[in-house]
Amino acid sequence: MNLLLIAWKNLLQRRLASALTALSIGLGVMLMVLVLVISGAVETAFTQRSIGYDLIVGPKGSDLQLVLSAVYRIQPPIENLPAMYLDELQADRRVVTAVPLAFGDVTQEGGFPIVGTTTEYFENDYLPGQKFEFGKGGSRIDQLFEAIIGADVARQNGWTLGSTFPILHGGAEGSLHDEEFTVVAVLAPTGTANDRTVFLNLESFYAIDGHEKPVDEIEKRLRDFYAADQDRLDQALAELDDYRQQLRNEEANGVAAVSPRAMQEVTAVLVKTRPETPFDAISLSAELQKGFQAMAVNPIRPIQRLMTNVIGNVQKALVVMTGLIILVSGVSIFVSIYNSMSDRRREIAVMRSLGAGRHHVFGIILAESALLCTGGAAMGWLTGHGVAVLASPWLIRRTGLLISPWTVSPWELTLFPALAVLGILVGFLPAMTAYRTNVADALNQ
């Protein structure tokens, strides 16, 4: 029998106290593992370059909200931009690509965000150097009411090629739009928010009944937006007057009115500038900063700010807190073993009379506390990752956070040596008591 086995039998002898102290260590470690897994996921989700574009253009407002809504799709949009402005951007010589996004709706089934866009979105990289791949179907949404869905949407809703679905308007208390959309392609998993997005042909967005805002509201907005650009405003107002005329005609004669560009809106525009002149992105962004109602945002910066200012600190605080929990559990191990020592003086003396040296009984007690610490930690580590596995589908659904439950963070690697050290520290004093036991006295008890 070696010392470890003897220590193990001693722990079994006091199995309730042993189990409880190991459990408290285990719970602390489990919490720490969960904090690390989740914050690791938050970190990778938010620090990697989030999209394959240089700028996101949206209405003036919070840059963070623009990124969270346009890229991560976990915030409602700020407002809309006139579609005319998209045309302006596309005409700008500094702009290589400008892809429109219209969003704010979610699917009735599963509550997945809906994004109206063009086929161009799928032709560009979704992350730098990463091209979209299609699990099933084509790669275009050129026709009205065509939809491409992300891998998670397909899996969770059980949708596949040819599936049809209605959409729910975010603004109007859950009222369903009439039109049904048809899935024409399913994206291969990307590990980004695209996996749980339903992409629709942008034109069908405008075509949806009741989606169009009243002409007067649009006019008011255009007046705001183009307050500094009289030429464009005049052009837009002329289009609106013409449209009013058509609408009256539609009512009177049944001739369908065709909504002009001025009536159309987009929520955000993803912009790629020429790679050989990186200053273009900066100058465009600076220009918009001064200008009227739009802003251009670097997709990484607001998120980095959020990471370092808020999430990073919260994460550190949580790690420190779980560390303290583990420390307190360590103290409970100390109390448990130390309390048992007075009852065990005689046992220790008997072992000594069998020829055990001081170092043997010292080692046995130390092994007990190390076993409690590392055993509890091992259980906590496994349950922590197990809970992460079980919780990951839920977490993706609720937050879009893609966690990799078995990823071991560098902090975790230090966990086991740290706990072995903790075990040795808390076991040291009781082990010293065992070491110093006066055998003749203890045998006389």
Residues near other proteins (CB under 8 A) are 1-2, 6, 9-10, 12-13, 346-347, 350-360, 439-440, 443-444
Cβ nearer to other proteins, comparing 33 with 364:
364
The CB-of-347 to other proteins minimum distance in angstroms stands at: 5
The CB-of-379 to other proteins minimum distance in angstroms stands at: 22
Cβ nearer to other proteins, comparing 252 with 440:
440
Cβ nearer to other proteins, comparing 54 with 368:
368
The CB-of-440 to other proteins minimum distance in angstroms stands at: 5
The CB-of-11 to other proteins minimum distance in angstroms stands at: 9
Cβ nearer to other proteins, comparing 12 with 238:
12
Cβ nearer to other proteins, comparing 253 with 445:
445
Cβ nearer to other proteins, comparing 230 with 445:
445
Cβ nearer to other proteins, comparing 267 with 340:
340
Cβ nearer to other proteins, comparing 350 with 382:
350
What's the token pair of residue 98? 């400008």
The CB-of-35 to other proteins minimum distance in angstroms stands at: 37
Tokens 């040596």 found at: 417
The CB-of-430 to other proteins minimum distance in angstroms stands at: 16
The CB-of-374 to other proteins minimum distance in angstroms stands at: 20
The CB-of-68 to other proteins minimum distance in angstroms stands at: 59
